[in-house]
Structure 1
Amino acid sequence: MPKVPSTLPISGLFGVVKPSGPTTMSILENIKPLVASSRLFVSEADLKKVKGKTKKAKHNRYSVKIGQGGTLDPLADGVLVVGVGKGTKKLGEFLDCVKEYRTTCLLGCETDSYDSEGAQVRTAPWRHVTRDGVEKALEQFRGKIMQTPPIFSALKMDGKPLYEYARTGTPLPRPIEKREVTIHSLELEEWLDTKHSYRWPEKKFSEEQKIAVEKALKGAEENASVKDEPEPEPALDGGPTAFVLRMKVSGGTYVRSVVHDLGHAVGSAAHVVTLTRTRQGRFALEPTDETDRACVPWEVLAAATEDAGEPDADGWTKWEREVMDKLEIVEK
């Protein structure tokens, strides 16, 4: 039974296990009404002020701040740190903290988003890639490396998002600036080979779109090319080779770029098909240290948004007990 804080309401941080599919913002929007109606986070006086108001009115009169410590793409699942009240002031430390990920990589195709949510930009041979070849290539991605953000990103160059250059075929005025990041550890966890159900995205870039991307890149890279490279070997049953990586990285690292660049390093192409953030700072899916904190299963919070259920003898619902069990109280 989680310990009830001695003084209420409180401010704090807790981790949520985000599922794949929803956006980070939608997860937060679903949590807000729960937090704003709980005596754990809101004073009895403030709760009385909104009692009886419409759902929309309550939404517009939240008396407590809530935020998150690092967005996850819709495709991604795993640790999402949530801050409530004074806890929101602590969220910045989670942007630059060490994070851990588990990702499944699919060879032979690269996409505009560098993951399976995007469209095919280029295909390349993949049957020559071996497990040993991938493990050897991983060596160049460990430690401090210079990483180039994707051209299909919202990062701006001369006031214009990079993706606009790519979509309109406007040559980049200069190469995309590389960023130094640290890959603390990077291991091949599982070699799936072709024994899996993953497939390349059905959506493909048209020839016009490919030419536009090529034009944009050639403004900064003379030999830039996004042409398909035919597979020299005959077709086989099953999908292209896939494998699973586990990594521990510094803040600001693009996991999708690691996979994209690794595809090039083994003479192929690659994109992400699953991505799980297994740790963000001290919040982890599988705590390994006494200072680690586990995360609240999304199913518990999702169920509470539909029906919070009957409170127990002490007046706490299931979701509140679950949060209290995982909560880190913030005093200042």
Structure 2
Amino acid sequence: MTQGKVMEGVFAINKPKGLSSAQVLRDLQKHFNPSTLFAPWISVEKTNRDREKHNQRRRRREKDIQVKIGHGGTLDPLATGVLIAGVGKGTKSLQDFLSCTKQYETIVLFGASTDTYDRVGKVLRTAPYEHVTREVVEAALGQFRGKFMQLPPLFSALKMNGKPLYEYAREGKPIPREIERRPVEVLELELVEWMEPGTHTHQAPSETGSDTEIKFANTIWSQEKVLPGGSSPKGVKKEDAEVKEEITGTEDVPTRKRKLSTEQDELILERPSSKHQKSSEEEANSATMSGGLAAPTTTDAALSSTLPEEAPEKSVPGPPAARIRMKVTSGFYVRSLAHDLGAAVGSAALMAELERSRQGEFEVGKNVLEYTDLDKGEEVWGPKVEAMLDAWNHKRGDVEEGRSSAPKKVETEAKVEADSVMGEAVPEAVNATS
């Protein structure tokens, strides 16, 4: 590593599952603050602060000097992959990543929809999935390619009249107006792996939403035409169609409900047992004491053994899942794609896994720091971070030089080229910590 060089710029780290983007920044600071690589930056920052006026120093919330770090686009704790980070003056360049194209890989699990549209939410609706095949899904993907208007997640942090949508749901109040769809573009979309029922471990959450949340979601989904499970068959009463399980198909309602009940048992696992559930011995004793039938005697057992045994219930495998890869523009909600795809195939679906494999020029496995390198010490992560910051600054210098030498009439062209080289920022707020 170069001694005395002030390191600033932009690099990317591979965010692991289970950590928030903000936590990753805090972890970076923990390793960067005492490091040799960023000691010159700390020294310069200390000198600059010593020159500040008294009032400026008083206004600072953070008195301790820490390496200034920001990120260019939030990833949920569930997600993994490229998290772009800016250091020092590099935080100002995070805005250059607006309108960036990104590549995602997601696993879509069919059969259930949740309030968050992913596997960490609460189940609001379940639906049949035995008719969902690879061919059906691939045919449905066609409607999600190109430019279209996408509906943001129902319970997202989006606000309407200054109030988050999820608060309307929790309070059981109708939203003032329809949720506005947003223009998005899907440049590439393909199904890369199909997982037949019983061949994977992905499953829906066990917690279900409240009646108020379910009613709210069904109302909004109906208005927006993204209701999971498809439309109700002819002849089914409205009351039957509004239960949590969507009843579809050509079979009679009782048969359909029995099959759906079996599928739900496979879909939602780890269901907590009832507090009032009794053991078989307690139930037998209770029945005897209350005048019910006593346990069968030896004669009764021998008699019953001569009767034909009932065929055991056939075990129904869980729902199918699909790994889908996409290249999209900024503002795209992958979880909304999963939800809408479930509705498009006449079932329900949620996002089970998500990886942002590329953002702008940064791609996992090529020029992205592995999070696990941090714990290996500065001798491992230091040279890698330095090389990535140097590469970014070198490219930025080339772009700036090209802009200054280009004629005014082609200034716009130069900016477009620069954006494609540097990558563009995400629509989410750029967070900086110092």
Same fold? TM cut 0.5: yes
User: Which of 65, 68, 92 is matched with 2:68 structurally?
Assistant: 65
Q: May I ask how many residue pairs the two structures share in their alignment? A: 303
In the alignment, is residue 207 of structure 1 matched against residue 280 of structure 2? no
C-alpha distance in structure 2 between counterparts of 1:223 and 1:323, whole Å: 44
Aligned counterparts, 1:203-282, within 5 A: 203-214=207-218, 227-230=244-247, 232=256, 233=259, 235=263, 236-282=315-361
Aligned counterparts, 1:123-202, within 5 A: 123-194=126-197, 195-202=199-206
Measured on the aligned residues, the alpha-carbon RMSD in Å equals: 2.7
C-alpha distance in structure 1 between counterparts of 2:220 and 2:246, whole Å: 20
How much has 1:44 moved relative to structure 2? Answer: 7.2
In the alignment, is residue 29 of structure 1 matched against residue 15 of structure 2? no
Residue of structure 1 in register with 2:291 after alignment: none
C-alpha distance in structure 1 between counterparts of 2:212 and 2:365, whole Å: 46
Which deviates more from structure 2 when the two are superposed, residues 104-113 or residues 209-218? 209-218
Structure 1 pair 213–267 and aligned structure 2 pair: CA distance change class (3 A): closer
How much has 1:13 moved relative to structure 2? Answer: 1.2
User: Which of 380, 384, 390 is matched with 1:318 structurally?
Assistant: 380
User: Which of 368, 372, 395 is matched with 1:299 structurally?
Assistant: 372
Post-superposition Cα deviations, 1:102-149, rounded to whole Å, max 9, x if no partner, equal: 000100100011100101010011110111111111010000010011
C-alpha distance in structure 2 between counterparts of 1:157 and 1:164, whole Å: 10
Q: Secondary structure at the match of 2:10?
A: strand
Q: Secondary structure at the match of 1:317?
A: helix
Structure 1 pair 35–126 and aligned structure 2 pair: CA distance change class (3 A): same
Residue of structure 2 in register with 1:103 after alignment: 106
C-alpha distance in structure 2 between counterparts of 1:8 and 1:100, whole Å: 34
C-alpha distance in structure 2 between counterparts of 1:216 and 1:68, whole Å: 33
Bigger radius of gyration:
2
C-alpha distance in structure 1 between counterparts of 2:363 and 2:42, whole Å: 35
8 Å CA contact 1:123–1:230 kept in 2: the answer is: no
TM-score by length of 1: 0.83
8 Å CA contact 1:198–1:239 kept in 2: the answer is: no
C-alpha distance in structure 1 between counterparts of 2:382 and 2:114, whole Å: 41
Residue of structure 2 in register with 1:20 after alignment: 17
Post-superposition Cα deviations, 1:219-255, rounded to whole Å, max 9, x if no partner, equal: x669976842157346544321101000000011000
8 Å CA contact 2:100–2:359 kept in 1: the answer is: yes
Structure 1 pair 45–33 and aligned structure 2 pair: CA distance change class (3 A): closer
How much has 1:43 moved relative to structure 2? Answer: 1.6
C-alpha distance in structure 2 between counterparts of 1:296 and 1:44, whole Å: 20
Residue of structure 2 in register with 1:53 after alignment: none
Structure 1 pair 44–260 and aligned structure 2 pair: CA distance change class (3 A): closer
8 Å CA contact 2:170–2:213 kept in 1: the answer is: yes
Q: Secondary structure at the match of 1:114?
A: coil
Q: Secondary structure at the match of 1:136?
A: helix
> What letter corresponds to residue 228 of structure 1 in structure 2?
E
Q: Secondary structure at the match of 2:352?
A: strand
Structure 1 pair 268–323 and aligned structure 2 pair: CA distance change class (3 A): same
C-alpha distance in structure 1 between counterparts of 2:203 and 2:226, whole Å: 29
C-alpha distance in structure 2 between counterparts of 1:162 and 1:100, whole Å: 28
8 Å CA contact 1:104–1:274 kept in 2: the answer is: yes
8 Å CA contact 2:118–2:352 kept in 1: the answer is: yes
Q: When you count strand as a share of all residues, which structure comes out higher?
A: 1
Which deviates more from structure 2 when the two are superposed, residues 75-84 or residues 41-50? 41-50
Structure 1 pair 139–35 and aligned structure 2 pair: CA distance change class (3 A): same
Q: Secondary structure at the match of 1:139?
A: helix
8 Å CA contact 2:103–2:327 kept in 1: the answer is: yes
Structure 1 pair 226–259 and aligned structure 2 pair: CA distance change class (3 A): farther
Post-superposition Cα deviations, 1:244-303, rounded to whole Å, max 9, x if no partner, equal: 00000001100000111011000010001110000010000144xxxxxx11111111x1
Structure 1 pair 277–43 and aligned structure 2 pair: CA distance change class (3 A): same
C-alpha distance in structure 2 between counterparts of 1:184 and 1:222, whole Å: 24
How much has 1:33 moved relative to structure 2? Answer: 2.4
TM-score by length of 2: 0.64
Post-superposition Cα deviations, 1:13-46, rounded to whole Å, max 9, x if no partner, equal: 1111111101111111111122223343342772
C-alpha distance in structure 2 between counterparts of 1:325 and 1:222, whole Å: 50
Runs of 4+ in 1 over 6 A off after TM superposition: 47-50, 222-226
C-alpha distance in structure 2 between counterparts of 1:17 and 1:147, whole Å: 28
Q: When you count helix as a share of all residues, which structure comes out higher?
A: 2
8 Å CA contact 2:70–2:91 kept in 1: the answer is: yes
Structure 1 pair 143–164 and aligned structure 2 pair: CA distance change class (3 A): same
8 Å CA contact 2:226–2:340 kept in 1: the answer is: no
Identical-pair percentage = 44
Structure 1 pair 109–280 and aligned structure 2 pair: CA distance change class (3 A): same
